[in-house]
Structure 1
Amino acid sequence: MKKYFLYLMLFLFTVSCSRKEHPVVSFYYWKTNFSLSKLEKETVEDNAVQKIYIRYFDIDLHPKTEEAFPVSPIHFLEKPNIKEIVPVVFIKNKVMLKSNLDIEKLAKQTFDFVNLINTKNGFSCNEIQIDCDWTLNSKDNYLQFMEAFKRMSNKKLSATIRLHQIKYFEKTAIPNVDSGVLMYYNMGNIAVNAPNSIYDRSIAERYIKSLKKYPLALNFALPIYSWGIHIRNNKVIGLRSKMSVLDLQKDKKFTLEDETNFVVTTSNYRNGTFYKKGDELKIEAISKKDLKEMAEDLSENSAVQPKEIIFYDLDEFNIKNYEKTIFEQVVSCF
């Protein structure tokens, strides 16, 4: 009887696990022109994506007047065939560091500009997200801005959260929002001999155990992008977006030295950037193994399962580096 009882318990456990609801797949869209390629549309359809977080514009300080103003607003070349659009506004921290910042004015201008884009394109939204990596010095302005924006918008408000804001939330504070999105990337330093700055598990482990104590409901954003660190004379001179090992291997002006490092063999211009003979490019990317590792670590350390896993970002250059079922595989780890 004891043996049968154990079999029964194992069966019930297996059934329970199989019925577990996993988070849904969502994406960020971070280009200034909205138009999906065939592969991007297929990815949305294949993963039953119901929500896309679209960067509407950035907010920066004007170089002459020091006034906050919108930068690089989105242009919709086609209407997203998606159930829900979430406008995302990226606010540079230096805006929130401004000592004489008119918070009420900025909140109204931000909300009005979101509405202007929606009205122009015939959209409506239930949620708006504010993306700002606030610090202790900018905390007061940021928190007041979020209060004002939430009051004016009367919509669901979400905020991006970084790892240091999770661990030290009693100091950095928690904004008055309905939910947060933990940006689980850009963890390390961009340097010549440093590990992968996009994802470094040893750095993440210093913070991730604090997730269970964090009182705000969180979804998780995971990276699927890659870039190149441009090095000259053993010094970093720039960060070059949309670069991968496979992409550079096709260019005879670059020679692969090891798994991720290239040397420029012929001086050339590439996508508007000059590469001098002898320059180096260190490619940083996220593998399938990395994504599954991230998901497993987050699942293990979360107090509550997330409702969404948001991948950054929806771009053919990123998607083609993974197998078709990668997103399904990652969310199944939760």
Structure 2
Amino acid sequence: MYSYICVKLNLGCNIVKLRVFFGILFFLLIACNKQEKPVVAFYYWKTVFKLSNKEKEVLKQNNVHKIYIRYFDLDLNPKSGEPFPVSPIHFETKSNDLAIVPVVYIKNKVMLKRGIDIDNLAQKTFDFVELVNKKNGISCKEIQIDCDWTLASKSNYLKFIEVFKRISHKKLSATIRLHQVKYFEKTKIPNVDSGVLMYYNMGTIAPDTLNSIYDRRIAQRYIKSLRKYPLSLNFALPIYSWAVHIRNQKVVGLRSKLNVSELKIDKNFEQISTVFFKVKQSNYKKGIFYEEGDLLKIEAVSSADLKGMAQDLEDNTAQYPKEVIFYDLDEFNLKNYEKNIFKQVLSCF
């Protein structure tokens, strides 16, 4: 009888332990499922900040509270060779309902300049951002630096980030390219609070059939490295398109704000494949001269591409992003997608 009671008690204890174990497992699963989803944000990359009704509507529909606005580019003055701000933003629309993140795009050749005074450049860059803010009544908590730095410019760029962060006393983010993720031990990691992975512009602009904006085969070479990248990342996805202007098998330029539907109804162009249009007769279109025989290759990203990109990122990231930032907020880009595309993309995470 004693043995029987002991066995029964042990069995009861084991059942209790199993219940506790499965209870903990259940709550862990719930916690994982309650992983906070990222929110939608946008880049704004025009020189005049003036939101159309369509752009305002999209911001409202997607509950967007933050927008990343290109404030100016940093380039080298062709005469003096010194860094200077190019095409600063002009505000025509008030941004009272939005958190503004100024973005400064720095051309890599600025960081490659020999003998450049990094401390002076960082101070002047911050001062110019503050000047734009003051002029337009904007108070920002974060500034983003956009630069595709290389091994040759790495030292200057990393120092610039250090100095800029010290003098700005603001949250600092930086754009990160795929090659900088895969080879971060060589390219190093900027001392910022967070990064934004630019998941586009993956290939070379060329007269062939490849899409330079997004090519999944190219992305697959790099994306598995995301799990090892130590910096917290948000993701930037493309919603823009362009036409590659080709003459005699050579690229002569990129033509913005041209799409398939527009070219289909233009009698000067003939569609010869899914992405290629041929110029039937010489003409001017939007101020650009197209010679008979020229080709236009449309490079765009479909809704299916966007959802596939999000799924690939979700499968390979070590931690979910807090934001998915779409490049860029422009009525021309928005009309190429269905109304709820941004929510569809976020549902992949």
Aligned with residue 179 of structure 1, among 194, 211, 233: 194
What secondary structure does 2:211 align onto? Answer: coil
Deviation at 1:80, TM superposition (A): 1.8
Q: Distance in 2 between matches of 1:218 and 1:15?
A: 24
Q: Distance in 2 between matches of 1:243 and 1:104?
A: 42
Segments of 5+ residues of structure 2 without an aligned counterpart are 1-18
1:210 aligned to 2:225?
yes
Q: Which residue of 1 aligns with 2:215?
A: 200
What secondary structure does 1:310 align onto? Answer: strand
Q: CA RMSD in A?
A: 1.9
Q: Which residue of 1 aligns with 2:138?
A: 123
TM superposition score normalised by structure 1: 0.95
Q: Distance in 1 between matches of 2:225 and 2:265?
A: 43
Q: Distance in 2 between matches of 1:65 and 1:299?
A: 47
Q: Which residue of 2 aligns with 1:69?
A: 84
Q: Deviations over 1:133-161 (max 9, x none)?
A: 00000000000000010001010000000
What secondary structure does 2:43 align onto? Answer: strand
Aligned with residue 106 of structure 2, among 91, 94, 97: 91
Q: Distance in 1 between matches of 2:173 and 2:111?
A: 18
1:157 aligned to 2:157?
no
AA aligned to 1:87 is: P
1:310 aligned to 2:325?
yes
Q: Deviations over 1:231-260 (max 9, x none)?
A: 011111111122211122232211111111
Segments of 5+ residues of structure 1 without an aligned counterpart are none
Deviation at 1:267, TM superposition (A): 1.3
Deviation at 1:273, TM superposition (A): 1.2
Q: Distance in 2 between matches of 1:322 and 1:79?
A: 26
Q: Distance in 1 between matches of 2:330 and 2:47?
A: 12
Deviation at 1:29, TM superposition (A): 0.1
Aligned with residue 119 of structure 2, among 79, 104, 108: 104
Q: Which runs of 4+ in 1 moved over 2 A?
A: 11-21
Q: Distance in 2 between matches of 1:21 and 1:157?
A: 23
Q: Distance in 1 between matches of 2:271 and 2:32?
A: 45
Between structure 1 and structure 2, the one with the greater Rg is 2
What secondary structure does 1:54 align onto? Answer: strand
Q: Which residue of 2 aligns with 1:49?
A: 64
Q: Which residue of 1 aligns with 2:3?
A: none
Greater CA drift, 228-237 or 135-144:
228-237
AA aligned to 1:77 is: E
Deviation at 1:21, TM superposition (A): 2.6
State whether residues 231 and 279 of structure 1, in contact with CA within 8 Å, keep that contact through their aligned partners in structure 2.
yes
- How high is the sequence identity, in percent, across the aligned residues? 67
Q: Distance in 2 between matches of 1:41 and 1:303?
A: 33
State whether residues 192 and 234 of structure 1, in contact with CA within 8 Å, keep that contact through their aligned partners in structure 2.
yes
Q: Which residue of 2 aligns with 1:137?
A: 152
Greater CA drift, 191-200 or 86-95:
191-200
What secondary structure does 1:281 align onto? Answer: strand
What secondary structure does 2:190 align onto? Answer: coil
1:327 aligned to 2:342?
yes
The count of aligned residue pairs is 328
Q: Which residue of 1 aligns with 2:263?
A: 248
AA aligned to 2:139 is: S
Q: Distance in 2 between matches of 1:272 and 1:243?
A: 13
Aligned with residue 267 of structure 1, among 282, 285, 294: 282
Q: Distance in 2 between matches of 1:17 and 1:132?
A: 35
Q: Which residue of 2 aligns with 1:227?
A: 242
Q: Which residue of 2 aligns with 1:291?
A: 306
State whether residues 263 and 278 of structure 1, in contact with CA within 8 Å, keep that contact through their aligned partners in structure 2.
yes
Deviation at 1:12, TM superposition (A): 8.5
TM superposition score normalised by structure 2: 0.91
Aligned with residue 40 of structure 2, among 25, 32, 37: 25
Q: Which residue of 2 aligns with 1:34?
A: 49
What secondary structure does 2:253 align onto? Answer: strand
State whether residues 49 and 82 of structure 1, in contact with CA within 8 Å, keep that contact through their aligned partners in structure 2.
no
